[in-house]
Structures are given as structure tokens and as C-alpha cells.
């Protein structure tokens, strides 16, 4: 398992453990208090647990051996499962919460034992903070000092991206739920609880849309990060067998990478075909030693 996939697995397991405990406590509190915000949060945490199990399934499926029908393996299957997770977050978490909020605006329900709900939400904030800490810890290892927003836009690890997005949405939802429950307890007006439920749904849907946009780019086909592309080009150009780099194409392939190089080789007019093959093989071997995730390197000599 590569370092990137190992880090994603850790972040997913942190999130799964935290969200399972949170979901159980929230359902209990929602039943006890009749709080719409708490019910929305409970459904959200349940959706998160399902999502994390799907991400783990996708990472396991990605390890399947290559076949004649799938010669480059199944690494990109993680993109599919990440998109399914984003859709579940949008509909199962966000859209349901919006529906519940609208229904409670039209038919307010009195809240009971608001103090219990606030205590459960406080505990959930601690558990969700632990989950987010785990995700951010792994992100810092991979980001190379980039800001979170820049890493999110340029990341080629959909599993870690989804977990981070879920955790941020969860913390924002918990804060909104706490404010809504507190306002309902203080004023005695269930309208605040309904508005909190509605706001939680909107936040979840917005985060899901951002995640879907990034995952869609990976599904369509996205190159390695700009820094990595530049590093590869510099590395290839510095090889003694290479006179000039004409073009380099990279393609993110799950936690692996495809590299295609077109280059003018040194002394192309004088060396034999066999010497050319040896020169190309030497460059490819060094590239794969430098970037073990570059499972496929295609090298084409040219004079253009």
C-alpha cells in the first residue's frame, strides 16, 4: 500500500469510529428531545458512516490485479466510489435535512429536554474534532506546505478529500445545530430548531457539490499536480541520455500515476536502435525509482 492510500485509510478509520459513536448518541437525543436539528445531524452521521464504509470498499477494490479488460488495473475505481459518497452526502444528508427543515417550518414541534441535546452536541463536537484532526494530520503529510484550499483543489486523493469535506461539513452542522437548539431552549420557539435543520442541509449540500466538482475532474482525467509535473520534466531533462524534452503527459490513476514522455535523445543520429532501447530503459528505470507510484512510464524518442 502506498503512503498516500495508507494515510487515506487512517483518516477514514478515524472518521468511521467517531461518526458511529456520534450517530448512536444523536439518534438517542433526537428521540428524547424531539429536535429536528438533532434528527438531521443523526441522519448526517449515519450517512457519513455509510460513506466511509464505501470508501474503504473502493480502496479494497482498487487493489485488484490487472486483467486483459482492465490492463491498467482498478485504481480509478476509488473515483467512482468517491462520487457515490458525495451524492449520498448531498441527498441522504443535505436534501433530507432541507426537507425536514421545511416540514418543521410548516408544522413546528415542541422541543423537550434541550439540555440533553446540547450535551450530546458538545460531545459530538469533540469526537468530530478528533476525526478532523486525523484527516488534517494526513493532509499535512501530503500537502507539502500548501494551504488547505489549495491542497483541496489540487489533490489527486479523492478518499482523503471526501473525508476532509465530510468532517468540515459535520463540524459546521454541529455548530449550527447547537446554536439552533440553544436558541430554541432560550426562546421556547421551535422555529429556531426548524431553521437550524434547514441550514444544516444547505451546508451539507454545498460541501457535497464542491467535492463532486473535484471528483468529476479526476473521473474525466486529471494530470498529476503542477509541482509534480514540473519536477518530472526537470528530472527527465537532466538525464544524460536526453537532449531535449519535447512533451510530458501525466495522468492521475488512483494512488498511481501514468507518465508519457516524448524527448529528443542525445546523439540520436549516431546511436543504434539497440543503444536507443537501452538508453530509454535506463531513464524509465530512474524515473520509477524516483517516483514509485509511476507504475506506467511510456517513453517515445522523437526529433520534432
Q: Which three cell numbers stand for residue 134?
A: 486525523
Give per-residue pLDDT as tens, 31-53.
887 777 677 778 878 887 888 88
pLDDT above 50: residue 18: yes
Per-residue pLDDT tens digits for 200-229:
889 989 988 998 998 998 898 889 888 899
pLDDT of 269 higher than 90: no
- Residue 70: left if φ>0, alpha if ψ -120 to 50, beta else—which one? beta
Is 7's pLDDT higher than 70? no
pLDDT tens for 191-203 read 888 888 899 889 9
Residue 90 CB contacts under 8 Å (≥ 6 apart), including other chains: 204, 205, 208, 209, 212
Banded pLDDT at 1 (limits 50, 70, 90): very low
For the segment 140-159, what is each residue's pLDDT rounded down to a tens digit?
887 777 888 888 888 888 88
Q: What is the DSSP string of 259-274?
A: EEEEEEETTTTTS-HH
pLDDT of residue 291: 95
State if pTM tops 0.85.
no
Q: What does the pLDDT look like over 85-118, one tens digit per residue?
A: 888 888 877 888 888 888 888 887 777 677 777 8
pLDDT band of 241, cuts 50, 70, 90: very high
Domains in the chain and their CATH numbers?
3-220 (1.20.1510.10), 226-301 (3.30.70.1350)
Q: How confident is the model at residue 5 (pLDDT cuts 50, 70, 90)?
A: low
Contact 25, 45 (CB under 8 A): no
Which among 50, 173, 183, 160 is positioned nearest to 100, based on CA atoms? 173
- pLDDT beyond 70 at 57: yes
Tell me how far CA of residue 118 lies from CA of 25, 114, 181, 182, 204, in angstroms.
12, 6, 7, 7, 20
In 3-state terms the chain splits into helix, strand, coil percentages (rounded to 5) of 70, 10, 20
Return the C-alpha cell found at 203: 451546508
Round to whole Å and give the CA distance between 274 and 267.
Answer: 13
pLDDT exceeds 60 at position 4: no
| Alpha helix (H) residue ranges in 144-157 | 148-154
Per the prediction, the chain carries an average pLDDT of 85
What is the pLDDT, as a whole number, of residue 242?
93
Q: Where are the beta strands (DSSP E) in 195-241?
A: none
pLDDT at res. 15: 78
Amino acid at each position: 500500500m502506498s503512503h498516500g492510500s495508507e494515510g487515506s485509510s487512517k483518516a477514514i478509520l478515524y472518521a468511521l469510529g467517531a461518526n458511529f459513536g456520534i450517530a448512536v448518541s444523536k439518534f438517542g437525543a433526537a428521540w428524547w428531545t424531539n429536535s429536528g436539528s438533532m434528527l438531521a445531524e443523526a441522519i448526517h452521521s449515519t450517512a457519513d458512516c455509510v460513506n466511509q464504509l464505501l470508501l474503504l470498499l473502493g480502496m479494497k477494490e482498487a487493489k485488484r490485479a490487472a486483467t486483459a479488460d482492465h490492463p491498467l488495473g482498478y485504481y480509478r475505481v476509488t473515483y467512482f466510489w468517491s462520487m457515490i459518497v458525495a451524492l449520498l452526502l448531498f441527498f441522504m444528508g443535505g436534501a433530507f435535512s432541507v426537507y425536514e427543515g421545511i416540514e418543521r417550518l410548516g408544522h413546528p414541534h415542541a422541543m423537550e429536554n434541550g439540555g440533553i441535546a446540547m450535551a450530546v452536541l458538545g460531545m459530538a463536537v469533540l469526537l468530530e474534532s478528533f476525526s478532523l484532526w486525523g484527516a488534517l494530520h494526513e493532509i499535512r503529510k501530503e500537502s507539502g506546505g500548501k494551504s488547505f484550499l489549495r491542497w483541496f483543489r489540487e489533490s489527486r486523493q479523492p478518499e482523503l478529500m471526501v473525508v476532509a469535506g465530510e468532517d468540515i461539513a459535520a463540524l459546521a452542522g454541529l455548530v449550527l445545530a447547537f446554536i439552533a437548539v440553544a436558541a430554541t431552549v432560550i426562546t421556547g420557539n421551535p422555529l429556531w430548531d426548524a431553521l437550524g435543520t434547514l441550514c444544516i442541509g444547505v451546508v451539507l449540500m454545498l460541501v457535497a457539490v464542491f467535492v463532486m466538482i473535484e471528483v468529476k475532474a479526476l473521473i474525466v482525467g486529471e494530470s498529476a499536480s503542477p509541482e509534480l509535473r514540473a519536477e518530472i520534466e526537470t528530472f527527465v531533462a537532466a538525464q544524460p541520455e536526453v537532449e531535449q524534452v519535447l512533451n510530458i503527459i501525466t495522468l492521475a490513476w488512483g494512488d498511481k500515476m501514468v507518465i508519457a514522455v516524448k524527448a529528443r535523445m542525445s546523439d540520436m543520429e549516431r546511436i543504434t536502435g539497440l543503444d536507443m532501447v537501452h538508453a530509454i530503459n535506463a531513464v524509465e528505470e530512474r524515473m520509477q525509482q524516483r517516483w514509485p507510484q509511476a507504475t506506467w512510464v511510456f517513453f517515445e524518442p522523437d526529433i520534432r
